[in-house]
């Protein structure tokens, strides 16, 4: 990762506190703690039951017992609250913390929650369509948080943000540099063919959904491509 975002200089303008963002973080942490106490097998079993499995979603495969505990359509929501380990969880929650509060501020808390879920659903669908023959479950909030990254790019590209360059050097740079580097990373790994265990297509799907739906979900009169609002 070229830039790891840490925090921004972008005060809240409309809401007193980012209640929806914090609520989503708390839910993700509680769900993972519930997964974690069940041990490694528990994490695998929950992922198999509540993650997005492309072949299950499209009805093209008969899965063994333990898979498909929920209706396949429901997993497009449940998957985004599951994580494979603490590193996976912390990375996604960092993105939710850094980008979520100002996107929530620009929309209002209720619309923000619906926006977050829609981005996560779009991300899950993007992954499924890119891997139609896969029986592997997709889990994690990265698709939904990528939607927040896309919304932030549309709303506040010129805000200054602290980030770690190459995971080592703290720099204060415009948000658009951090986000464009994030986008470039996704497409680099997609086109390189070295996708590993990361759902790059889910990231891109969530990102595009965020850039598109923020136009409709933002408060009336909220400008696009702005800097930080005045206090």
Domain ranges across the chain: 3-217
DSSP conformation class of 213:
H
Q: Which helix (H) or strand (E) holds 121?
A: helix 109-130
How does pLDDT run across 120-174, given as a tens digit for each residue?
A: 999 999 999 999 999 899 999 999 999 999 999 999 999 999 999 987 899 999 9
CB 202 within 8 A of CB 86: no
Question: Using CA atoms, how far apart are residues 81 and 23, in angstroms rounded to an integer?
Answer: 12
C-alpha to C-alpha distance for 48 and 8, rounded to whole angstroms: 36
Q: Does the domain at residues 3-217 carry the CATH identifier 1.20.1540.10?
A: yes
Q: What is the mean pLDDT of residues 181-185?
A: 95
Three-class DSSP category at 164: strand
pLDDT in tens, 52-105: 999 999 988 766 665 656 889 999 999 999 999 999 999 999 999 999 999 999
The distance of Cα 220 from the centroid of its chain, to the nearest Å, equals: 25
Among 163, 186, 156, 188, CA closest to 94: 163
């Amino acid at each position: 990762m070229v830039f790891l975002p840490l925090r921004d200089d972008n005060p809240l303008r409309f809401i007193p506190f980012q209640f929806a963002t914090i609520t989503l973080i708390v839910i993700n942490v509680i769900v993972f703690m519930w997964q974690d106490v069940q041990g490694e097998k528990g994490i695998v079993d929950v992922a198999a039951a509540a993650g997005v499995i492309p072949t299950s979603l499209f009805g093209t495969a008969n899965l063994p017992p333990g898979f498909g505990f929920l209706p396949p359509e429901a997993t497009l929501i449940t998957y985004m609250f599951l994580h494979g380990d603490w590193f996976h969880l912390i990375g996604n929650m960092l993105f939710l913390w850094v980008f979520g509060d100002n996107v929530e501020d620009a929309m209002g808390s209720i619309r923000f929650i619906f926006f977050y879920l829609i981005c996560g659903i779009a991300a899950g669908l993007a992954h499924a369509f890119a891997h139609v023959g896969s029986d592997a479950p997709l889990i994690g909030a990265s698709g939904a948080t990528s939607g927040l990254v896309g919304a932030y790019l549309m709303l506040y590209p010129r805000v200054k943000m602290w980030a770690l360059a190459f995971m080592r050097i703290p720099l204060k740079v415009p948000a658009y540099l951090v986000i464009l580097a994030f986008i470039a990373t996704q497409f680099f790994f997609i086109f390189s063919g070295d996708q590993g265990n990361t759902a790059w297509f889910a990231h891109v799907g969530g990102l595009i959904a965020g850039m598109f739906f923020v136009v409709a979900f933002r408060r009336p009169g909220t400008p696009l491509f702005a800097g930080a609002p005045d206090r």
